[in-house]
Amino acid sequence: METYWFDYEFQMEDGSSTRVKVELEPDTLYLIHGDMDNPPEWSRLDYKQCPCCSLQLETDPYCPIAINIVGLVETFKDIYSYNNCTVICATADRTYSKETSVMEGLSSIFSIIMGASKCPVMDFFRPMARFHLPFATIEETMVRAASMFLLRQYYEYKRGLIKKFDLASLENRYALVQQVNEGLLERIKSLGSEDADKNAMVTLHSLSQLLATEIDYNLTELEYMFTNPAEG
């Protein structure tokens, strides 16, 4: 069974380019990564550990997300977020491209890694990593997050694990997601690098806040798509 992969290429205005390939295991949808010699101190679990983290240092010496973004942070740590570029994301099924900033391209990669890194808080994003949509808008992300969450509830309902469908627990999950975003940002801030990787995290954090707010309002911003025009 083939892996699911996303091959990102950043084509800079000065003619240089940088490629980042992300692969997911086909059966678990977890990120595939190679062994690393001497991981940096900031990737250790107890380095600015998120207050909501349930992992223990004895069994998980490294933060599962931090250890998976080490290479990405090192690659882009000296690049400014506002640098313009063309980002091309190739997958097995299709290719996406956008003229945008380094920050938006990195945010797109971060979103895959965060959902597929065995972080207990972020694990509910794992199915979204499989169906990752590069450069997704807020509305697109909102639809995907709510749809995936309700689909998960459907399967849990079939297995007798829950008795009803609702978005209350999704709102609670996003509150924890914001804590993880803040924790990772604190780790990256300690590097003293340029701002591309930091701003990518800020973008994800802002997006999670917007989604949490919209969920709190029962997704009213999306309701228009499910209303019969004749009723108006």
Q: How many domains in the chain? A: 1
- The C-alpha atoms of residue 119 and residue 124 are separated, in whole angstroms, by 9
Amino acid symbol at 81? S
Query: What is the structure's pLDDT at 76?
Result: 80
Query: What is the structure's pLDDT at 200?
Result: 63
Domain range holding 165? 4-231
User: Above 90 in pLDDT, residue 89?
Assistant: yes
Which tens digits make up the pLDDT trace of 149-166? 889 999 999 999 988 877
pLDDT band at residue 201, thresholds of 50, 70 and 90? low
Query: What is the structure's pLDDT at 206?
Result: 58
Most confident of 21-25, 104-108, 174-178: 21-25
| Phi, psi of 53, rounded to the nearest 5 degrees | -70, 130
pLDDT band at residue 6, thresholds of 50, 70 and 90? very high
141 in Cβ contact with 125 (< 8 Å)? no
Query: What angle separates helix 168-189 from helix 64-76, to the nearest 10 degrees?
Result: 50
Query: What is the structure's pLDDT at 2?
Result: 85
- The C-alpha atoms of residue 224 and residue 220 are separated, in whole angstroms, by 8
DSSP-derived pairing of the beta strands 95-101 and 17-24: unpaired
- The C-alpha atoms of residue 187 and residue 87 are separated, in whole angstroms, by 26
Across 33-55, average pLDDT = 87
Query: What angle separates helix 196-216 from helix 102-115, to the nearest 10 degrees?
Result: 60
User: Above 60 in pLDDT, residue 207?
Assistant: no
Query: What is the structure's pLDDT at 28?
Result: 94
∠ CA 63-64-67, nearest 5°, is 75
Selection from 103, 99, 105 nearest residue 86 by Cα? 99
Percent of the chain whose pLDDT exceeds 70: 85
